[in-house]
């Protein structure tokens, strides 16, 4: 079950965290995987790319060498799959169109798209929300997913088969204190995904949303320990999830076995939305 042999997947924000786990899980299921990110290890402009992104986390991970796009691609090739690590800014429409066209030429298809790229470092209550960071978050989290989906959709329709995953968050379904821009953009992905599900249904294309809860990524581990403990205690399982928990859900949703599931929001959150005491 969940055999993706012969399928071509594109994952945005694949250099670390959930994106990296998604890439590896898709490859383990048989897919060829293109790892895209604004940060690529061998890029001589990597520090400048991180700075231009306006993301404090991107700059921190670059400084700490927590960037694994090419390493992930190499691990996938060692599994016997085809793979490439490609620099791509999801907010740059022209670049996105060019990259997706090149992927289709080089790999022969684009069957699976995981819209994972996102910003997560804008924390402030409404009165203190930074207008520029609000605009950045909308551009990356929402418009970036739209740009990539728009570029991939014609290739999926041409082959009458496709899977689109939108990575949201429980902040988008429950709200997030001090996370207005993040929560709003993640909630907006639900409407976008359901529209894609409707428009793609007659072409064998499904679209679903995965909403992770507290997942032990590099970003989580950099968080305030006391705040992390509070969030974990809010979770019914009393433990953070692992990136692989999210990745395995995605593998199922993009598999042939999930062909009749579309327009849905799948929470991978350990029961954080349950009444817990």
Domain boundaries, the chain: 8-268
Number of H helices, E strands in the chain: 12, 7
Tokens matching residue 166: 């939108």
What CA dihedral angle connects 101, 106, 112 and 114, to 10 degrees?
A: -70
Q: For 14-40, give one letter per residue: b (16+ CB within 10 A) or e.
A: bbbbbbbbbbbbbbbbbbbbbbbbbbb
Return the CATH class of domain 8-268. Answer: alpha beta
Tokens representing 53? 């992104």
Q: What's the pLDDT at 1?
A: 84
Model pLDDT, residue 219: 85
Any catalytic annotation for residue 182? yes
H-only helix segments in the chain: 17-28, 46-53, 56-63, 69-78, 93-107, 131-137, 144-159, 170-174, 180-200, 218-221, 225-234, 243-253
User: What is the DSSP-derived secondary structure letter of residue 120?
Assistant: -
Q: Consecutive 10-residue runs of the chain (277 residues): their mean pLDDT?
A: 96 96 98 98 94 90 94 98 98 98 98 97 94 97 98 97 98 95 98 98 98 92 88 94 97 98 98 88
Cα 267–Cα 157–Cα 250 angle in degrees, nearest 5: 20
* CA–CA separation, 205 and 201 (whole Å): 5
Taking the CB of residue 132, how many other CB atoms lie within 10 A of it? 9
Q: Which is catalytic among the residues 182, 187, 206, 245?
A: 182
| The model scores a pTM over 0.85 | yes
Beta carbons within 10 angstroms of residue 158's beta carbon = 13
């Amino acid at each position: 079950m969940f055999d993706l042999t012969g399928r071509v997947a594109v994952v945005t924000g694949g250099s670390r965290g959930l994106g990296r786990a998604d890439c590896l899980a898709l490859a383990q299921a048989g897919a060829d995987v293109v790892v895209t990110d604004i940060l690529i290890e061998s890029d001589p402009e990597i520090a400048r790319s991180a700075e231009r992104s306006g993301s404090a986390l991107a700059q921190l991970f670059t400084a700490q060498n927590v960037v694994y796009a090419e390493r992930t691609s190499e691990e996938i090739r060692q599994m016997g799959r085809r793979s490439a690590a490609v620099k791509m800014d999801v907010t740059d429409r022209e670049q996105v169109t060019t990259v997706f066209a090149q992927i289709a030429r080089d790999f022969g298809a684009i069957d699976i798209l995981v819209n994972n790229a996102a910003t997560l470092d804008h924390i402030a209550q409404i009165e203190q929300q930074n207008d520029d960071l609000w605009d950045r978050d909308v551009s990356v989290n929402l418009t970036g997913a739209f740009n990539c989906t728009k570029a991939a959709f014609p290739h999926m329709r041409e082959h009458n088969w496709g899977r689109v995953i939108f990575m949201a968050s429980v902040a988008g379904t429950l709200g997030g204190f001090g996370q207005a821009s993040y929560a709003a953009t993640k909630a907006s992905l639900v409407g976008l995904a359901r529209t894609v599900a409707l428009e793609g249904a007659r072409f064998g294309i499904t679209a679903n949303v995965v909403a992770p809860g507290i997942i032990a990524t590099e970003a989580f581990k950099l968080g305030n320990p006391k705040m992390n403990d509070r969030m974990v205690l809010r979770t019914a399982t009393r433990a953070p999830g692992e990136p692989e928990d999210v990745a395995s859900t995605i593998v199922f949703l993009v598999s042939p076995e999930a062909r009749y599931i579309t327009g849905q929001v799948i929470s991978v959150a350990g029961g954080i939305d349950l009444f817990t005491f």
